[in-house]
A and B are shown apart, each in its own frame.
Chain A
């Protein structure tokens, strides 16, 4: 990821798999095994020596600064130890090949200042490099900690939202279970008596299987949403992901007398991202929309969720017909801890925006005529 340019970091705890989305992979790697760092120091010194010798022989000029480069890189990549090793090796090579007497580790008295200057320069370059390396490591650690905190926060808000949905979700699971119980009773009735009605009993049993499967599907969806998180890079069928969220919200919508309508084109391209996090954004926007319509109103309570393909991305819109937002609120709704809801935490939209931006998209609120509010976000299409 381009360092220093992004304040919002991926909401995944593992650092793998993000760099492709957020910029070129870094040249340097930290925490390599120590032996490898020392080997790198040796190789770099050897390369510097090789080039310096070649230039010395063919061009009769010996750019000793090449050795300093080797020291700098070794310290940068490996830290203090490899840096010192490279400095020692370079000093030896320098003294052997470039300081008279040539081909000897001894140093002429008139060459001593040059040699000392070289030593000082290499130690200085090495220590600067090590300092820089430590600063980078600290920054990276802080970034990792921030990422983890954000992932945890996203998880917590997701679980909290699901907590608000608990009663509705329980209802959603209860329906097929009620079906199972009733069908079981019917099945027994068809089987009882002198002449059992087997075809009817079989049909009842098949309905039991269907309803049981339905209940377990709902539960596995909930479990998937409660999970920590997966990867930002998977291919996500947006229609399916949205419909799953709508199923979970259906009970809540009925409870508040809201009609959920979907306008999802069948040929919507897949998007790239983390399915659970995308569902969290949709869930959050749908719940906000339902919440915005809780007060009595004279027009229809309707929540429309639509999606359309644009060049290389997909735009999702969530429109409610609720109380709407005043301009002042419009500016602040994405701020953390800002809320217009009694008992709201003010994290939902802030987290949602972070999630969308980490996917390379944008989440915004659109002003429109008439009642209600429209939120829309974009996600990159899966090429």
Chain B
């Protein structure tokens, strides 16, 4: 259970941080820090056992109905990544406290950071691969939020979008791959799945699964050709880069490669794809890092290169390769996080991240310079630092690897890669901290506008940090809280290098045993292995790297002239084209013509109906028809007449509204006649509200519909209408003339004993199908909010221009608020409310219910608006309409959830029929509370729609009056 708590802690911390966000940076940082530290403590408690080879497992029910368990396990590999996540996480929390400006909302930052931390922990510790996927997607989402933290910056939004698209697409690929994997293994539990190597590799699904899973891993870990999103993501605040883009998220892909190593690795396909991708990425990243001027961009590209190295190591498929991979994974996290923090400090102090605008900071910022030297040296693989150890072991592994039958290929490529990494590491240190001091440029901020190559976002080095730090003051070492994390990481890089066997040996051994799924090969972590080929390659790399830096200036000119392709730009262009294409396609299918849409809809329905009809038996029904009364015939004639009249007079828009009222009234009478009083009540009240809202809308619309149909279209519509109507009518006839068992009997017998009410309609609405009702009020509320949103912007753009030109189409009566109407409606208000209350209370047993009650209340209030004017009524209607909708949905949802507390299904109602003195038996039911929620939502939705429509015409009228005054004023 500790394990579950461990994964939950960051999420709880995220909520807590969001709650204290008003407390400022300190409160947020402390909350986030405490959550992280406690989680780290829990992990530390588990660590000794895990390193000794124990595997801790825990699981809780996830979807028990499907047999899904949310299961977690921690072995040494998971422990390693989790340790990095929480350890570096804690340092980043501290660093960010000093890094964020006072204007940056700290609650949002830390909540997102902890959200990401929880997601990453989930990836590291999930035992069920489906659960792992959920967390994997969550890391993509939270990193999107973090990269786009400065949402006012276009490049931040662009970078966030690109990262989300690339890693999200990779996530989909991974989903498919893991499903195939789980299918061929017959299990989704990792500890079991990892034992089934033969089943997986023998399956025909192995290759597709491998390709899809690699798609996920390579996008996440920025492998060629998906590497381009990582430099774009540098628009994120630097703590985010230090955390996500060096230590954790980009390692998720590598982690998964390591995790699935026992079952996927060792085949020719794995070796070829993974090793080659790793090597190419290593070179591409290293070369582009060499010519990148933005400090963070440089580090991002070096990260790509180092990730390529890691991928290559796991791709080798040898046990020693896995050992080195695990070791370098940790080492890279240590020195790269330190370097990112260092770049942030430089940016903060000097006001720019442009290498060309920096120099000679070493004497001004001795501590930062020392950290940079140590961490860069580790990155370059200089003894005695940790990077040297793992790079040496990597070179040793590469030295005897044959790729494509060539013994020289891999050693040469990795030596070139190592040489380049020495060069870019040296460039970082030398150009920023040594050489001529460019103080003037820094102080005046000129450096910030320096030239960039096309790959870097042009504003990257002029990020929001620029100018917030140094300003006119000379750069100096940062405050303790900002400097200490990077110092600590740099120191770790050093001591791991000095005492590797003591500090890292046990963990690396245990973690690589977890990767391999068996005993690791014998090895010792040591600085000196004697004169080996690897040592020679190291020396070549160091000397060569220094040489490359010496000729860097000339090389850069050549590089610029080459015009290197810009995959990020291609991606954006491709995305733009896709958006354009889909818009075109949408417009071709759906051009906004309602007639056309309706014709297609009805046409499809007619076609489907007739196809179904063709395949059925065509016997007539046996049920005898009911006797026809004169009255029903008359009502039918009136109904048809009114409908026909509406069609004939449809151009004069007001008249169809009148006929709609008639049709609706006859429908209500029909409901009565067919013993459906509930429906009649609803019909009557819905009709009134509809007419009011339509009249309100009609005010701003043309009063006549222009003739715009061609003869051909009229014929088409007539045919469709005839077919549709005849089809629908005969279908209804066919159903009604047949005896069949219906659901009604079930409801009749169960309404009272299970729902506690005798009005079956109401019991169905609030109990049996309560979930549907809940969905409907949500839809109703959403529709009202959509009306609000659409009309709120109606005075802008094209609609606004037309609204401004609006004027009443005919002379108006001067009497705005007729006195008799005012008197009557005010008098009627309490009666209407009492009626509504009555309908509401009796609804469970007799016709009525929350929906009708809500409508009656709404009508009672609408009457006041109608009679006494908008301003008068609006002043007296206290509750906010939005809040009403919200409360309605909330009350309904909470009532439904209340049943869960008692272990019953959602929306099960409890009821109680107490007998009160004088009043008699009354029916109490939790369904009534649910019904109250329905009432609130209905009132809110109707009122919101009314208020918005009314205020739109009010605006139009004010403009018209203003225009008139202007004309009159201008005339004399």
Q: A and B: real partners?
A: no
